[in-house]
Amino acid sequence: MSDIGIFYGSTGGNTQDAAKELAKLLDADVHNVYKASVDELNNYETIILGSSTWGVGELQDDWEDFLPKLQCLKLEGKKVALFGLGDGESYADTFVDAIGIIHNALKEQDCQFIGKVSTDGYEYDESLAEIDGMFVGLPLDDDNQSDLSPQRLIQWAEQLKTEL
C-alpha cells in the first residue's frame, strides 16, 4: 500500500481519468468515494481529494454523502491536496468551486493543505477555490483547455513530491 491515497468522485469520467493518471505519477492508491469508506483515509499519510463541479458551483453527487463523513474524521497531521475539474467558459463564475467547497469544509481540521496552484493561464471570472490569487489545488478545464491537462497533471505531481 502507498502512503498516498487519492479519493475522487466522477460522473462523466474526466475526474476518474485524472485520478488514475495522478496515481501513476505518484505511485498512489485510488478510491472512488461512491464505493469508499472514510475510514480508508486513515491508511494514508497524504490524501488527495478530487471532484468535478456540477451545475452552478455544486459538488459532484458522490461527494454529497462522503464530505460530511469526512468532516467528522480526524485529519490531524495529514497532508491534503485537492484537484478539480470545471468549465471556465460556460461556468466562469463557479469555476472549480467543488474543491473550494471541500477546502472550506476541511480548513478547520488540523491537516496541512499542499499543492496550491497559481491562477495564471486559467480563464474564468470567479472561483471559491481561489484564495489570495492562488487556487487551493489543481484546476483542470477539460472542456476548454484539455490540451493543457496532461502537462498540468505532471507539473502538479512534481510539485506535490517536493511538498511531501
Beta bridge partners of 117: 135
Q: What is the pLDDT of residues 118-145, one digit of tens each?
A: 999 999 999 999 999 999 999 999 999 9
State residue 84 phi and psi, 5-degree precision. Answer: -155, 155
Span 3-59, pLDDT tens digits: 999 999 999 999 999 999 999 999 999 999 999 999 999 999 999 999 999 988 999
Query: Would you state the pLDDT for residue 1?
Result: 61
Residue 19: CB atoms within 10 A of its CB come to 22
Q: Which of 21, 18, 77, 72 is nearest to 47 (CA)?
A: 77
pLDDT at 2: 76
The whole-number pLDDT of residue 99 equals 98
Domains defined along the chain, listed by start: 4-163 (3.40.50.360)
pLDDT for 58: 94
Q: Is the pLDDT of residue 115 over 90?
A: yes
Give how far the C-alpha of residue 6 lies from the chain's centroid of Cα atoms, to the nearest Å. 9
Q: What span, in angstroms and rounded, lies between the C-alpha atoms of 6 and 67?
A: 14
Picking from 82, 34, 88, 21, the residue whose alpha carbon sits closest to that of residue 60 is: 34
**Tens digit of each residue's pLDDT (9 = 90 or more) over 69-109:** 999 999 999 999 999 999 999 999 999 999 999 999 999 99
